[in-house]
């Protein structure tokens, strides 16, 4: 049984009761736990000596009762959401289609879908380019 189970059949009093756990201290340091019967106060030596009550779970349904998996999208429609399109524009206030110029949601599906190219980091970074400064040499010479 797991240590989370609390229902027991006490071997001392025979009651169907709960397991009471009390901390055992040495000064201010916790050194262990006392395992007690909540009905009669009988102390058990260790967790293996506690007669936990077996938990019975009722099986109401079998695998034959489950419905078959429902496939909502067709195979070609799965990746055609606006969030994967190259015209999908996101800002903090709205999501827009750059091709049709109207507000869209990430899960919308469009007939004019064009998959955007995924950024592939070549230097092991996050795929973004560092900002370029055209006048770097001018600043170095002036300094």
Provide the residue ranges of all domains of the chain, joining segments of one domain with +.
7-49, 74-111
Q: DSSP labels for 19-84?
A: EEEEEEEETTEEEEEEEEETTT-PEESSGGGS-BPPPP------GGGSPPPP--S-TTTTT-BGGG
What was the pLDDT predicted at 120?
Answer: 65
Please choose, from the candidates 16, 43, 17, 41, the residue with its C-alpha nearest in 3D space to the C-alpha of residue 32.
Answer: 43
Tell how strand 95-97 and strand 16-26 pair up. unpaired
pTM of the shown model: 0.38
Tokens linked to 57? 């779970």
pLDDT digits (tens, 9 = 90+) for 3-29: 566 899 998 998 999 999 999 999 999
Contact between 106 and 81 under an 8 Å Cβ cutoff? The reply is: yes
Average pLDDT over every residue of 54-58: 77
Average pLDDT over every residue of 43-72: 85
């Amino acid at each position: 049984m797991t240590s989370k189970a609390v229902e027991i059949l006490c071997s001392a009093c025979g009651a169907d009761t709960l397991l009471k756990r009390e901390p055992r201290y040495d000064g201010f340091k916790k050194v262990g736990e006392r395992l007690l019967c909540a009905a009669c106060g009988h102390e058990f030596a260790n967790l293996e000596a506690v007669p936990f009550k077996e938990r019975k779970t009722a099986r109401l349904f079998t695998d034959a009762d489950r419905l078959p998996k429902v496939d909502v999208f067709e195979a070609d429609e799965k990746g055609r959401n606006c969030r994967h399109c190259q015209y999908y524009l996101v800002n903090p206030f709205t999501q827009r289609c750059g091709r049709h110029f109207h507000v869209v949601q990430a899960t919308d599906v469009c007939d004019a879908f064009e998959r955007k190219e995924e950024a592939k980091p070549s230097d092991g970074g996050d795929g973004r380019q560092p900002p370029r400064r055209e006048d770097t040499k001018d600043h170095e010479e002036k300094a």
